[in-house]
Structure 1
Amino acid sequence: MNRIILFILLTTAAINTSAQQAKITIKILHAKNNILKIQTPVDNTWFYPAVKELSFGADSTIHYSLPIKNFAWLSINNNQILIEPGTTNLVLDNNVLVKSDRNMEGMLLFSKRNTEFYQYRARDYYKRDSTSAGLYQLLENDKNEVLKPYAGLFSRQKISANFYNEIKRYFSAEQVILQAAIPMIVLSTKQKINNDLDKMWAEVYQKHPVDNAQYVFYPDFYYHARYYASTYLHYYLPLKKGIKPSKRNEDESLKSNYKSFEDNFSGRTKEYLLATFLYDEMLQSNHQRILLDLFDNFKSHYPKSNFSPFLQPLANKILAYQKDIKKDYAANEKFVANYPEINSLDSLINRFKGKTVFVDIWATWCGPCKAEFEYSAGLEKFLQAKGVEMLFISMDKDTEDQRWKEMIKYYKLSGNHIRTNNALQKDLIDKLWEGKGYAIPRYLIIKDGKLVVKDALRPSDKEKLYAQIGKYL
């Protein structure tokens, strides 16, 4: 995932006093399936993978309970819901919250908040005003405007004091995180910031220390903390002194980022950030051996961590990967002859005259590409039965040559393989994306050396894809 762009908004948190029981009854109307996804707190933090899938029967109702303190942020089918102790009855229609017997108007109002990724919003604030004084005022004014209707609901006793106070805490945290993001976004685009923004950046961390457990409930806190440690402390401050960052390889960068959380945070905030960092990196499915070492380090410091059970399945995949890459290629995992010398799509597909070919354009860094490999077995069975060739075109750079070859083994990619050189990649971009960069995965169908479908369905489309290929047999 592109970590500055790519983000899904989910929340969980709970603080204060001793645990109490919260009971939730959820009625689901017009559901597309019988699965409800609910994200629950892990040690009072928002943690990406803490999602449970619950199935419901003919009555379309789920009863769920959990221990909480004064309140807890949950995500139920992507609806962010603030739960208090006691019983709460909810109704979802087409996966949208439409009714609650507690804090209903407040929940509906919260569901309409601005959920755009915070770094996009920070960029837009800077477009509105480039001075720190103006930005402070914009952020404060916007927060106050957002809170006004909640204040009205509270004064009319439509929402509880707990709900109102937590909403204020949520938008106060948002204001702090946006303030810190503005100078960072400017630095990333202009490679420098002026003294005004430099002072603003320093002030936000001085007034609102990042090593503060009260922010771990906020959905963008992990990124806020990561950019504080990696960008502000380890890049920007040295750069101000004329110290340029040294080049690191991938393993060194992962170790450095992990250590930045170890050195600059403490207590449960550090444990949460380390666990989230490990999850975020493992989720990329690059299967680096160093992540196992870092996970071992994490477990040695937190042997009873409630985060570890969510990390272990991903660690197991890395272990399997490290084992599989030591094997020889299977007989049906073949490389196109002299592939480094192929400079155009026409030259490549001419090698398959008289055949129907399904083409998968991918890269080792592409998460959605690798997710589609889950359907490879069914696709392979269909292609073999119909006498169709499979061609995988990797868009990886030369530096990823080893990882490309490893992933062919790990994902058991039966078929013909080629990794593009610069000329072939440019030709693909010109022919398939009109010279405007590229987006993958992308699938093609070739018939008798000619491109007949330049944007085919995905393997996950299964029968629909098989029918599409069948037209060219």
Structure 2
Amino acid sequence: MKQYFRLILLLLLPLYSIGQIKKDHIEIIGKITGNLPDIIEYTLPINGIDYFGFTDSVQPDSLGNFQISLPLGKTSFIDLSNKNKSFGTLIAEPGMIYKIHINTEVKENQFRVASKDEKGQLLYNQIPNRMSVGGHFEVETKEYLQDSVPSNIKQQIKKSQEIELEGFKKLLKDKTISKNFYNLVRTDREYFYKGIQGSVSFINLLNLPYKENKLSEEQYKELWSEIFESNPVTNPEILSSSWFFHYAENYLRYKDLIIEGTTLTALSEINKQGLTHTHNINNAKKYLSGPQLEYYFAAYIHFETINKNYEKELITLFEQFKKEYPSSPYTPFLEPVIIPVLVFHKKQEEPLNEKIKFIPNSSAVNSVKEAIKGLYGKQFYVDIWATWCGPCKAEFKDNTKLYQLLKSKNITIVYISIDKESRENQWHDMIHFYNLEGIHIRANEKLNTDLINLYGNSSLAIPWHFLTDENGNVIKKRLSGASEVENLEKQLNE
């Protein structure tokens, strides 16, 4: 009998241990169904600060089960994702256990949380712009840019904010969510919508030289300054929002362009000198301090580095960050993304691949036909790209298979970059780094216009691949890239 009770006790111990959790920790017990990813990434709320680039990961088992244990001192956002695609966001409170189910086979409500505040979790995850992974505030400003009355813009933004918060107010009143839960959501959404107001002002400033602004200079300056009076960057609570980085960025633009009076022409000159990032960080040091500055500095380096423009300037700023913050918890997240920048510049010391060729006098080439004319070959696979285009650069990792396929079909590859003249050096360096074997040309304005006409739209979506004959006539207008080489082979055989 004693052995029987001992066995029962042993069986209950795991359940008992799961039910016990430290007050400054959380436990996530998860299950993912559908297409199982290799890993599930989750943001680490360092001191309650949430940024999509500061993450750890867990590997689900063959059945999709996973478990995450984290120290947590305050109510924070934790976003779960895979390859920058968010599954959902957990609003986590210290001392809590959350059961999460992720269903990758459905589009709606694929992220479910079983907890006492699950209604609040569901409501927050139904907000389409809950996280800043998708981009800047500029993405959200479209519906406000055609209005020329500042009071209307503020009223519309405030109304959208109030509608979004109404559901959370009801849940707080019903005690379905805690005061800390509500306050975190309220702060996050307030700063999000104030960020939209700041972005409307910024875009009007950018449109001013082209006379496409709807607000006068006086109007957008006033609209811009208001948000930092009511919602200052110094508020420590905003650090918990993933929107802090972009809100601080908007604030620093305001200080730079409005208070300091730096002109867009001056910023262009700074960019030509390769000092844009240094200028931005020096500006941040003027107007931010303490945890806000440390976080912004780290997030800035991370955000700019993952764009894979490989600016050498970022290496200098990283070394500066380490010197100024020798014990920063952010440094381990910056080291992996700065390594490719170091490798990029090390690569430039090596000789250029002999299979990389540049069209002579390319500045005089005004059309695709002119570019192809005089080149030896029967057919040409043309890759339209740019150094700032992330998806373009992502294609290059599969170039070995692409080159093998094109060689087997006696097709010559031509790379046409739509980079501006100011990125000439960056263009050469990236060709070298990615070892882009083939013929290269950087499009001037006339060639760029010809490409837009060939594409058939007012804007050119890249990467874009097409096939021409020996005279530059387009044979096949839309082809797959290197990442879909099997499909490309089918297209070429049709």
1:60-119 Cα distance to aligned partner (Å, 9 max, x none):
111111111232211113112212222110111227113423311111111222428633
The structural deviation recorded for 1:353 is 6.3
Pair 427,151 (structure 1): closer, same or farther in 2 beyond 3 Å: closer
Q: Which has the larger displacement, 280-289 or 352-361?
A: 352-361
Deviation at 1:391, TM superposition (A): 1.5
Q: How does 1:240-389 map to 2 (within 5 A)?
A: 245=266, 247-248=269-270, 249-352=272-375, 355-389=378-412
User: 1:466: how far off?
Assistant: 2.9
2:90 corresponds, among 75, 81, 87, to: 81
Q: 1:22 aligns with which of 26, 38, 48?
A: 26
5 Å matches for 1:201-216? 201-216=224-239
Other structure's SS at 1:88 match: strand
Number of residue pairs matched by the alignment:
450
Give the match for residue 444 of structure 1: 466
1:110 & 1:124 partners in 2: Cα distance?
22
TM-score (norm 2): 0.82
**CA–CA distance in structure 2, aligned partners of residues 139 and 332 of structure 1:** 55
8 Å contact kept, 1:183–1:193? no
SS in 2 for 1:257: helix
Equivalences for residues 359-438 of structure 1 within 5 A: 359-434=382-457, 436-438=458-460
CA RMSD of aligned residues (A): 2.8
CA offsets 1:118-172 (integer angstroms, 9 cap, x no match):
335445346567234x555444444333222222223333323332232223223
Instruction: Name the residue aligned to 2:192.
Output: 174
- Mapped partners of 1:196, 1:418: distance in 2: 44
Tell me the residue number matched to 1:149.
Answer: 167
Q: Which AA in structure 2 matches 1:90? A: I
Once the two structures are TM-superposed, the CA of residue 19 in structure 1 deviates from its matched residue by 6.9
In the alignment, structure 1 residue 41 sits paired with structure 2 residue 63: no
Aligned mates of 2:386, 2:46 — CA distance in 1: 34
Task: Give the % identical residues.
Answer: 24
- Write the distance in 2 (CA, Å) between the matches of 1:57 and 1:315: 31
- SS of the residue corresponding to residue 251 of structure 1 reads coil
d(CA) in 2 for partners of 1:386, 1:201: 58
Tell whether 2:40 aligns with 1:31: no
* Change beyond 3 A, Cα 1:126–1:328: closer
CA contact (8 A) 2:309 2:387 kept: yes
Per-residue CA shift, 1:426-463, capped at 9, x if unaligned?
A: 222222235x2322111112345442211111211132
Q: Secondary structure at the match of 1:357?
A: strand
2:112 partner letter = V
Shift of 1:299: 0.7
Cα deviation digits, residues 358-408 of structure 1 (max 9, x gap): 221111222221121111122223333443322111222333222222211
8 Å Cα contact 1:34-1:57 kept in structure 2: no
Q: Partner of 2:181 in structure 1?
A: 163
CA distance in 2, matches of 1:139, 1:243: 28
1:175-254 matches, within 5 Å, as 175-190=193-208, 193=216, 195=218, 197-229=220-252, 231-239=253-261, 245=266, 247-248=269-270, 249-254=272-277
CA contact 1:274–1:298 (8 Å) conserved in 2: yes
Please state how far the C-alpha of 1:350 moved relative to its aligned partner: 4.0
Which of 123, 128, 131 is the equivalent residue of 2:150? 131
In the other structure, the counterpart of 1:118 is: 137
* More moved, 302-311 vs 114-123: 114-123
Deviation at 1:266, TM superposition (A): 0.7
TM-score by length of 1: 0.86
Offset at residue 257 of structure 1 (A): 0.6
Deviation at 1:196, TM superposition (A): 5.2
Determine the C-alpha separation between the residues in 2 that align with 1:155 and 1:401.
59
Residue 114 of structure 2 is matched in structure 1 by: 100
Aligned twin of 1:15: none
Which stretch of structure 1 is more off in the superposition, 158-167 or 360-369? 158-167
Structure 1: 5+ residue stretches without partners: 1-17
Which residue identity does 2:26 align to in structure 1?
Answer: A
- 2-side partners of 1:122 and 1:448: how far apart? 46
CA pair 234-70 structure 1, distance change in 2 beyond 3 A: closer
- Does the 8 Å contact 2:221/2:258 carry over to 1? no
- C-alpha distance in structure 2 between counterparts of 1:197 and 1:350, whole Å: 50
Mapped contact 2:195–2:250 kept (Cα < 8 A):
no
Q: How far, CA to CA, are the matches of 1:203 and 1:401 in structure 2?
A: 40
Name stretches of at least 5 consecutive residues in structure 2 with no aligned partner. 1-21, 131-135, 210-214
